[in-house]
Structure 1
């Protein structure tokens, strides 16, 4: 907040303050596109600034899809992406997704069997809800499959900056014209800014820009100017993201330790290497997770039920829950997990 306030004061108190209240270009301001281009390792001309990652997905899906098209999605999947896809009246090819992310072997088998998706949607970095990251070799193979079978990979990576353990994994290569990357500042500078971006191939961006011009015309010029002032202050974005990684790393470790202490042998969870989510398997026989969630609400905590993240035709994730660390302070995590344990096993809580 302090850094954004300083950036805003610099914009509004500077000699070009009035320009921050004028119209912007459809693709975003040149200064912000240039920063994002450097950050993504692409030319600024391949960047279009949006009102957040979900807006990016909406534009890309609207540009690419027609009713009845087949879309490959992860199982489990980020449910708001399904909501956006549903507007295009598409059909779904669920692809199993586990501790190593999207099962590229399963996708290849479906393609070899005749499936022909037009788009594959994936969250390759610290996946929502599983927290998994797609390994580098699988990313290379995924792009090869896209080029061979003619589908477009839409890679949604809003958590990419939040790695707190493990080694760096390269992004899906934009050297392929079958790859679209989507990202946002929501998980680094704040979701209230409503600033995201698309990095797309030259054949796609003109169509996306035309759609955008007919909808909201452009992102907020003022918000773009404030973000650019912060981002172009040397070292500031790096420090903010480093602080975020340290914060979420501590929370993730505290959550994993609390699960082991409060639910030994009853919940299985792999600590993520980054991001905001832990995907936990409840080891009870046929747990009623919806009833458990209702009990959790009365106790003052919450979790995501696995079935909420299942695409049409998917597995249903009947024994999984998603736990989030985005808004729970480290010192409150043990209390939250204690309430979770009581919600899952009320018979042993007293």
Structure 2
């Protein structure tokens, strides 16, 4: 706890998604399954892209980074939730809460930036195909990812340092399954005007900016596709960005649903528990569905996944034969 705090605290209480003891085994099994699917699904995409030279393109480079961030995003929150359910202990230490807050804000921001970068990539691929390979060079792609990571890290660091200056009183119950930034700030008994101002400003700038870029990119993409004369050409152009558009829609609709719930809470019976359930969509469900969306709608990635699994199967069979040799 920082030196300016009036009350020295050591733990917070994560209320989770359900208070019913009989529902805990079902919740544990459901979230463990979703976590394993998320980790193995996104890891499979990373390995398939890295092992297939045909997929060493900007689009799949960004997709690999997105898959890595999704693994880290869910790993920040779900394991602690599963441990709490299994041990029937909902406590999280102050240090653990601040750490979880930092990394959840960090990876959530990276997710947001990478989706915008991927929209920019699709914009150049469809609207300026002749200049695509020159513009989206490996150096430029790496620079886009690096800038995204730096901006996300700076924002997360700023938000966390401001939380460290807050004082907390006796009500330390977080109506969530992880230490969400907004929920932790609400628990403070000190003045949070500056925290709220910075939070809303950064949300408008660092979330609204990428969203505006995505909307602009797709407005140009739709305009370009509409000018294509053949139906086959339109379908081919649209299919290259359909997966990304699906992921963007799922991510932003769930995030907007979560934050809209926060605003409605003060004016209606919309509960904090409802916002916790809504946040499951972008923290758990979206990262889990990303591998399915990209692999099912992309023939190149589907082929790479198949070849990687076949290659892994052959290597595993060879290892087993060697181990069984007398």
> If the TM-score is normalised by the length of the shorter chain, which range does it land in?
under 0.3
As a proportion of its length, which structure holds more strand? Answer: 1
As a proportion of its length, which structure holds more helix? Answer: 2
